[in-house]
Amino acid sequence: MGRVVITMDGGLIQHIMADQEGIEVMVLDFDTEGGDNERIKEFEGNTVYVFQGVDDVDPERVDEIETALFK
């Protein structure tokens, strides 16, 4: 099973990391203020800020985070 770490600060997603290739993450943020215009879309009658993908694949770092916080 793949694992994804999403880092947020001040309500904004800062970083998305996965522990393996082939993981696809989609983020729909309903707070579009200050977002890049090319990432603002319409979805089911709502304006959303969208992001797709991951920033990097780092299984060792994901292990460190999981161990420190959940084990």
DSSP conformation letters of 36-61: -GGGEEEETTEEEEEEES-SEE-HHH
pTM value is 0.82
40/51 Cα distance (integer angstroms): 9
Q: What percent of the chain has pLDDT over 90?
A: 82
What's the pLDDT score for residue 4?
97
Tens digit of each residue's pLDDT (9 = 90 or more) over 32-60: 888 889 999 999 999 999 999 999 999 99
Average pLDDT, the chain: 93
Tokens of 26: 């989609």
